[in-house]
Amino acid sequence: MSTTTTSPPAVKTVEPRKGFFTDTSVCIGCKACEVACKEWNAIPEDGLNLLGTSYDNTGALGASTWRHVAFIEQKRPTFLGLPSARPSSDGADRAEGSEFRWLMSSDVCKHCTHAACLDVCPTGALFRTEFGTVVVQDDVCNGCGYCVAACPFGVIERRTGDPDTPNVGLAQKCTLCYDRLGAGMTPACAQACPTESIQFGDLDELRERATARLAAMQANGDTDARLYGHDPEDGIGGAGAMFLLLDEPEVYGLPPDPVATTRDLPAMWRRAGLAAATLVAGAVASFLGGRG
Amino acid sequence: MNGSPRRRSPSSDLRASASELDNAQRGQRGARRGRRERTVVPDVEFTSYYGRPVVKSAPWASAIPGYLFLGGLAAGSSLLAAGADLTGRDSLRRSARVTASAAIVASFAALLHDLGRPARFINMLRVAKPTSPMSVGVWLLTGYGPLVGVAAASELPRVGPAWADRLVRRAARPAGLAAAVMAPAVASYTAVLLSDTATPTWHEGYRQLPFVFVGSAAASSGGAGLICAHRADAGPARRMAVGGAIVDVVTLYAMEQSLGLAAEPLRTGAAGAWLRAGKILTGVGGVGAAVSRRSRALSIASGAALLGGSICTRFGIFHAGKQSADDPKYTVAPQRDRLREGRGVSPH
């Protein structure tokens, strides 16, 4: 498709563009990524709750949750996604297998190629790093909150809390461990992941790895598997963090067809220009009606 | 049922599995069907993660709809003031200049109030980004505000020492005209500010919203002119009020008709109530303004109704956006529909 988005068509970076490939088929829901992220980035506590949503007591990505493990319980004959189950050779055996499957997926900022948050930021606090990632500069952000409404994934959020909470009032999200990347290290979440569900690396290589993994799964008969965020032709120009999912994206709380809102911005300005011209015409006409 | 995990049709299977779940383990999974409230758009099928929103709504409080209203009021008043200045309608010029400056000061206060770090407002001025409607707006207001201030200052009996007084009086007309040149952008950019988000109703409404907002700006500023100006000078304000009210109500109706599912929040909940009140007040005020040529009291009442209507419309649009972001239905269902119909952007 031809986009008219205001972001550059491709991210040109000094370093090879870095990203994540999260293979949810091997996620065991241990939440080590959530913990490692919180620890490394010194993110404040944001609620110790029992949400009643399977093993997910985190809820969603937000200002103080930069990795979020989703848990989805499904009543469905399956052999994939449940780590202990084994595939069998014929359908009859399958029917006797588990009637339940448990999907787990560690969600994160997508570090979009066409990043709406970055486009709409009025201070330049959000910027594109040399690794092709999207990061907030805490000392520049003034907490206008525009990025929060612009993100098609609901990732970035303004931090709330007591006045002494670190970075309170500022937009906060995953930095893809910008500080660790600078030192040639792996982001904390990927480092902590015990099953290599979260893979970190050069985006080009991750894309190949994701395609190969998908092909292998489909060859095994799992036609539910699909990639998400891997295609540079999608509405965000491809994500810096892609996923292998076992169901529709919305089942995991992801938008099925995300589009950077700024793609329509030229059309929006045109409409606003037309409306402004109408106002001028109206005002002039108001004074042409003579006195009285 | 052959027990295969494969799905022939993703969408139909999704529905089947969702209803199965509803029966088997209610509330266990967020597979929610969009039937929980009676609505005009029937039977929306969608899946979500425990009913949680996909996108986040703007973290803005009621200062922002106030800001939208005041910016519109200021912009319309600047146009009226410039016209009155050029056509010798002194009382309208004076009241419109004062209205514009008061509104723009208040709108600036509202804007600051909703920043997470108000002390860092100045960081807005370190870049100018056409991709950010907020950046464009801040620069517009940075130019527009002082011009409005100079024009309004000239209406004071005396401004500081004699040389300053002379300067302000000499600069008043050029400043007022320059403010009028910027005013249409001030009135319409706020629509782009809302539309350039992932908030479904704001984004989907980008074609109509600028017209709703300039209509609302004309109606409110015309209303203020009806209240403040002498009867002999109020003609343009009256015509502006009536025209603005018509554009406001008609384009809001067009928005409700053409947005599909994204129009639902315009009719429901708090947003629906605000917008109904807005339409009634704007309609009544518009008719009143048209017929009140001979009655000062009716003119004032009509002007007040138009100001109230504009406030209600801004709050209604604001809350409609929030409602559309807070319910995953408005994000997921249209995206799923366009994928199903082959209009999607993402490969599938």
Q: Which residues pair with A241 in a beta bridge?
A: A20
**pLDDT surpasses 50 at A93:** no
Q: Is the pLDDT of residue A2 over 70?
A: no
Cβ separation A224–B7 shorter than 8 A: yes
DSSP state of A128: E
Q: Average pLDDT over chain B, rounded to whole?
A: 89
Give the percent of chain A with pLDDT over 70: 87
Helix (H, G, I), strand (E, B) or coil at B130: coil
* B340 touching A (Cβ < 8 Å): no
Chain B residues whose CB is inside 8 A of the A262 CB are 131, 196
A180 shares its domain with A280: no
A202 and A269 share one domain: no
Collect all residues of chain A within an 8 Å Cβ-Cβ radius of residue B217: 279
Q: Give the model's pLDDT for residue B158.
A: 87
Query: Cα(A256)–Cα(B348) distance, rounded to whole angstroms?
Result: 9
Q: Which chain A residues are within 8 Å of B18, Cβ to Cβ? A: none
pLDDT score of B29 more than 70:
no
pLDDT of residue B291: 96
User: What's the pLDDT score for residue B347?
Assistant: 62
Which tokens is B280 given? 């009634």
Name the closest residue on chain A to residue B59, using Cα atoms: A145
CA distance B156 to A62: 50
Q: Which of B101, B103, B104, B97 is nearest to B155 (CA)?
A: B97
Q: Is residue A4 part of a domain?
A: no
The confidence score (pLDDT) of residue B25 equals: 34
Contacts across the A-B interface (CB distance below 8 Å) = 319
Tokens of residue B183, six digits = 């005013």
Q: What is the pLDDT of residues B188-215, one digit of tens each?
A: 999 999 999 999 999 999 999 999 999 9
Token couple for B271 = 């947003």
pLDDT tens digits, residue range B117-161?
999 999 999 999 999 999 999 999 999 999 999 999 999 998 889
Q: Which among A54, A257, A269 has the least Cβ separation from residue B335?
A: A257
Residues 99-158 of B with CB under 8 A from A: 114-118, 120-121, 123-124, 126-127, 129-135, 138
Number of CB atoms found within 10 A of residue B72's CB: 31
Q: What is the DSSP letter of A53?
A: B
Q: Does B54 touch chain A (CB under 8 A)?
A: yes
d(CA A206, CA B225): 63
**DSSP-based three-state secondary structure for A19:** strand
β A157-158/A171-172 pair status: antiparallel
Range of the domain at A286: 264-292
The answer to whether residues A165 and A37 belong to one domain is yes
Chain A residue with minimal CA distance to B31?
A251
Taking CB atoms and an 8 Å cutoff, what residues of chain B touch A76? Answer: 5, 17
Helix axes of B63-87 and A265-288: crossing angle, nearest 10 degrees: 40
Query: Which of B1, B4, B56, B293 would best serve as a mutation to test chain A binding (most A beta carbons within 10 A)?
Result: B56
Nearest residue of B to residue A55 by CA position?
B28
Position with higher pLDDT, A56 vs B17: A56
Model confidence, pTM: 0.89
Share of chain B above pLDDT 70, in %: 87
Beta bridge partners of A174: none
Q: Are residues A248 and A105 in the same domain?
A: yes
> Quick check: A74 pLDDT over 60?
yes
Residues 166-225, chain B, touching A (beta carbon < 8 A): 180, 183-185, 187-189, 191-192, 195-199, 202-203, 206-207, 209-211, 213-214, 217-218, 222
Question: Which residue on chain A is closest to B14 by alpha carbon?
Answer: A248
In 10 A of CB B311, how many CB atoms?
22
Instruction: Report whether B175 contacts B155 (CB < 8 A).
Output: no
Burial class (CB in 10 A: 0-12, 13-18, 19+), B57: buried
Q: Are A224 and B10 in contact (CB under 8 A)?
A: no
Say if residue B5's pLDDT is above 50: no
* The pLDDT of residue A5 is above 60: no
Q: What is the chain B residue with the closest CA to A226?
A: B348
**Could you tell me the CA-to-CA distances from B282 to B73, B238, B304, B312 in Å, in that order?**
14, 13, 10, 9
Give the B window 248-287 contacts with A, CB below 8 Å.
none
% of chain A residues with pLDDT over 90: 82
Q: Nearest to residue A5, comparing CAs of A204, A259, A271, A219?
A: A259
Selecting from B60, B132, B206 the residue whose C-beta is nearest the C-beta of A119 gives B132
The model's confidence at residue A67, banded by pLDDT at 50, 70 and 90, is very high
Does A280 share its domain with A158?
A: no
Q: How confident is the model at residue A27 (pLDDT cuts 50, 70, 90)?
A: very high
| Residue A79: pLDDT band with limits 50, 70, 90 | low
CA atoms within 13 A on the CB side of B308: 16
- In the predicted model, what is the mean pLDDT of residues B251-266? 97
Tokens of B221: 């500023």
CA torsion sign for B169, B171, B175, B178 is: positive
Q: Which residues contact A108 (CB under 8 A, 6 or more apart)?
A: A20, A22, A61, A66, A67, A68, A155, A174, A189, A241
Look up the CATH number of the domain holding residue A224: 3.30.70.20
Q: How confident is the model at residue A1 (pLDDT cuts 50, 70, 90)?
A: very low
pLDDT at position B22 is 39
* A50 touches B: beta carbon within 8 Å: no
For chain A, how many structural domains are there in total? 2
Q: Identity (one letter) of the amino acid at A68?
A: H
- In angstroms, the CA B317 to CA B312 distance is 9
Residues from chain B contacting residue A268 (CB–CB below 8 Å): 133, 191-192, 195-196, 206, 210
Residue of B nearest to A95 (CA): B3
**Are residues A116 and A93 part of one domain?**
yes
Residues A179 and A141 in one domain: yes
Mean pLDDT of A101-128: 97
Q: Mean pLDDT, to the nearest integer, of B276-301? A: 97
Topology annotation, domain B63-327 = Formate dehydrogenase/DMSO reductase fold (1.20.1630)
Q: How confident is the model at residue B184 (pLDDT cuts 50, 70, 90)?
A: very high
Q: In whole angstroms, what separates CA A156 from the centre of its chain?
A: 9
Pair (A111, A50) in one structural domain: yes
Q: What is the pLDDT of residue A237?
A: 96
Q: Which H or E element spans position A258?
A: none
Q: B57 at the A interface (CB within 8 A)? A: yes
On chain A, the residues whose CB falls within 8 A of the CB of B58 are: 145-146, 148-149
CA-based nearest residue to B44, from B208, B261, B304: B261
- Could you give the CA distance from residue B13 to residue B26 in angstroms, rounded to a whole number? 18
Distance (Å, whole) CA B45 – CA B65: 32
What's the pLDDT score for residue A3?
42
Q: Give pLDDT, residue A153.
A: 98
Check CB contact under 8 Å for A73 and B207.
no
**Closest by alpha carbon to B149, among B98, B185, B189, B108?**
B98
Partner-chain residue, chosen from B115, B222, B244, that has the shortest CB–CB distance to A143: B115
Taking only residues 241 to 280 of chain A, the set having a beta carbon closer than 8 angstroms to any beta carbon of chain B reads 248, 250-259, 261-262, 264-265, 267-269, 271-280
Indicate if A29 and A134 belong to the same structural domain. yes
- Per-residue model confidence (pLDDT) at position A140: 97
Domain positions in chain B = 63-327
pLDDT confidence of residue B342 = 87
Q: In which band, very low, low, confident or very high, does the pLDDT at A10 lie, cut at 50, 70 and 90?
A: low
- Alpha carbons within 13 A on the beta-carbon side of A281: 9
Q: Do A135 and A278 sit in the same domain of this protein?
A: no
Asked whether B305 and B288 are in contact (CB, 8 A), the reply is: yes
Tokens of residue B155, six digits? 């209406």
Tell me what pLDDT residue A77 has: 64
Asked if B199 and A149 come within 8 Å (Cβ–Cβ), the reply is yes
- The kind and range of the H/E element at A210 are helix A203-219
Q: For position B240, what pLDDT does the model report? A: 98
Residue B262 is given by DSSP the state G
Q: Is the pLDDT of residue B35 over 50?
A: no
CB-nearest partner of B345 from A125, A250, A259: A259
Contact list, B221 vs chain A (CB under 8 Å):
none
Q: Other CB atoms closer than 10 Å to residue B25's CB: what's the count?
A: 13
pLDDT for B259-284, tens place per residue?
A: 999 999 999 999 999 999 999 999 99
Interface of B with A in 13-52 (CB under 8 A): 14, 17, 20-21, 24-25, 27-31, 46-50, 52
**Which whole number is the average pLDDT over B24-50?**
56
Q: Are A279 and B218 an interchain contact pair (Cβ–Cβ within 8 Å)? A: yes
pLDDT-derived band of residue B42, with 50, 70 and 90 as boundaries? low
Note the pLDDT of residue B75. 98
Q: What are the chain B neighbours of A50 within 8 Å (beta carbons)?
A: none
Whether the per-residue pLDDT at B13 is higher than 50: the answer is no
CB A286 to CB B198 under 8 A?
A: no
Residues A226 and A269 grouped into a single domain: no
Distance, first Cα to last Cα, chain B: 26
Domain-located, residue A8:
no
